Amino acid sequence: MLRRQARLRREYLYRKTVEDRQKSIQEKKGRIKKSLEENIPIHGDLQKKALHYSKKLEWEDEGPEAAAVLGGESGGALADSQDDEYRYAGVEDPKIVITTSRDPSSRLKMFIKELRLIFPNAQRMNRGNYEMKQLIHACRANDVTDFIIVHEHRGEPNGLIVCHLPYGPTAYFTMTDVVMRHDIPDIGTMSEQYPHLIFHNFKTKLGQRVMNILKYLYPVPKEDSKRVITFANHDDYISFRHHTYKKVDKKIELSEVGPRFQLKLYEIKLGTLDNIEAANTEWAFRPYMNTTYKRRFLSEEDGWKPEI
């Protein structure tokens, strides 16, 4: 079993290496094509292989018949490792295991019970003294698709880790402004229908990546489902809201079910939690990353433009 997992991991890493090489070649071809079309000088870094790539551009088009074969250098649509990560998304329902950090507080235990109801087909597991490698190995053996860990600070949930199995990615979120169902009086019962999903303002490439990580935690809902879950991105904070709706006199009435909280992404690793030290970092939040754009935007509004 361990040899098979190691072999599958090596094959996956090889496919990602080939994919990166393919993307680099396709990017160079695109830059050369743009230079030829606009009749501008080719960049110095591309001049040595410009003739080689320009010959290949003559045989390329944008049709599906020009799709690249993995390992070759032909143009067209490139194979993507994310297709391999979520190749069964929408075909098979996700299977999720949710756990906590060691020695959880009573408040965190209540919050985990609510999270189990938010994600269909989710199971709650007591952490106990299990090591992370043991947990990931058990999840792989039972065909678990996603492993979720919730952390806390002084009884308040403050961290969420979503690990997609068997190869990754692993997304790390901070969690703030948590309002649990236990804190809302007379909230009623929670529906167990598969929810419809609403994603607002996930327009960038990173936003699409985060949307895929969150979207594939849920199975495909039925059309008559009255349950809605919303992920709204505002200023890099993802607000989570959970509602049910009903029609009253040709109007739609929403009723919040809870819980509610905010997420903020701070890292994405290309690996799983059992070998996270050796995994590459796909994206990480850096100090002043979110203030650079604000300072430039406000400066342009005041009439001052930066030199760059």
Tokens of 308: 């760059």
Whose tokens are 């009884």? That residue is 155
CA atoms of 267 and 275, how far apart (whole Å) = 15
Q: Residue 290: its pLDDT value, please?
A: 63
Tokens of 92: 């098979």
Q: Which residues of 249-269 are buried (b: 16+ CB within 10 A; e: fewer)?
A: eeeeeeeebbbbbbbbbbebb
Enter the pTM of the model: 0.76
Domains, the chain, ranges and CATH?
A: 1-70 (no CATH), 96-294 (3.40.50.10480)
CA atoms of 250 and 236, how far apart (whole Å) = 36
Q: Residue 235: its pLDDT value, please?
A: 86
Which of 42, 83, 45, 76 lies closest to 62, judged by CA?
Answer: 76
**For the chain, percent helix, then strand, then coil, each to nearest 5?**
35, 25, 35
Determine how many CB atoms are found less than 10 A away from the CB of residue 4: 8
Instruction: For the chain of 308 residues, list the mean pLDDT of each consecutive stretch of 10.
Output: 73 79 82 81 74 66 43 40 68 93 92 93 90 91 94 93 91 95 80 94 92 94 94 94 89 89 94 86 82 56 44
